[in-house]
Amino acid sequence: MSGIAKVVVVATLAAGCATHAPRPVTAECISGCVVVAHETAVRAKGKSRSPVQDMPAQMHETISASADSTQAFAIGIVQNADASAMHASFALQPGMSFKNVKSMVRTARSEAQVARASADSAIRQGDRIAQSVSGLPSAANRPWNQSAEYAHYWKLARHELVLARDEATRAVEAADVALVCATAVCARQNIAALKAKSRQSAGATRQAEPLLRIALAFASSRYATGL
């Protein structure tokens, strides 16, 4: 891969660190992107590797599939939490009938519940990947350890996913209260909480996504023990 091509790969991955994230791109995130970009460049050279250096094919396929599903769960959190916040917003619009408000809240509750389940699934899947890559050896000529790097970035991503799950849980709880409120004031307060917690769940997941991408790139690397 040419020097220019490498720069493009690094820039593209570094830009991915900032996708949907309101906070500035951190040096840690960019360094992780650079490491992944370096591996991409080395693979493109087509260097020969011995079977000892390669992760077993079946293991690689299993981890890659798990990585794909983990990312899909993260996308599901954002989509459903955003939808929940949107329906809660509709329920807060003036002039809405009581029947329509309840319908919107029920819909928002269902979406928050799916977001919570997706977060729980993403966390479990990421933990299983951590167990799969735990203890994989590294080589002296590689500047990182696959299992250690995954564990590091997964820990950061997991923290945000746990927050997303907790906020989605609180959104469901707020919806439950709103549906049994005896007064309009009580209902509006809890619908507003439903909206806020759903947004926070989606926001936490967006913070997790760039870290999750880096972690999963390390986990699904076929070349576990050297370049």
Q: Which domains can be identified in the chain, with CATH numbers?
A: 58-219 (1.20.120)
Q: Rounded to two decimals, what is the model's pTM?
A: 0.73
d(CA 202, CA 14): 22
Note whether 220 and 67 are within 8 A (CB). yes
pLDDT tens for 65-122 read 888 889 999 999 999 999 999 999 999 999 889 999 999 999 999 999 999 999 999 9
pLDDT tens for 11-37 read 444 444 444 444 444 444 444 444 444
CA-only gyration radius of the chain, Å? 21
Sign of the torsion angle spanned by Cα atoms 55, 59, 62, 67: negative
Contacts of 58 (CB under 8 A, 6+ apart): none
pLDDT tens for 170-213 read 999 999 999 999 999 999 999 999 999 999 999 999 999 999 99
d(CA 116, CA 77): 7
Q: Is residue 184 classed exposed, middle or buried when 0-12, 13-18 and 19+ CB atoms within 10 A define those classes?
A: exposed
Strand, coil or helix: 98? helix
d(CA 66, CA 69): 5
Residue 55 is given by DSSP the state: P
d(CA 78, CA 216): 18
Note whether 210 and 141 are within 8 A (CB). no
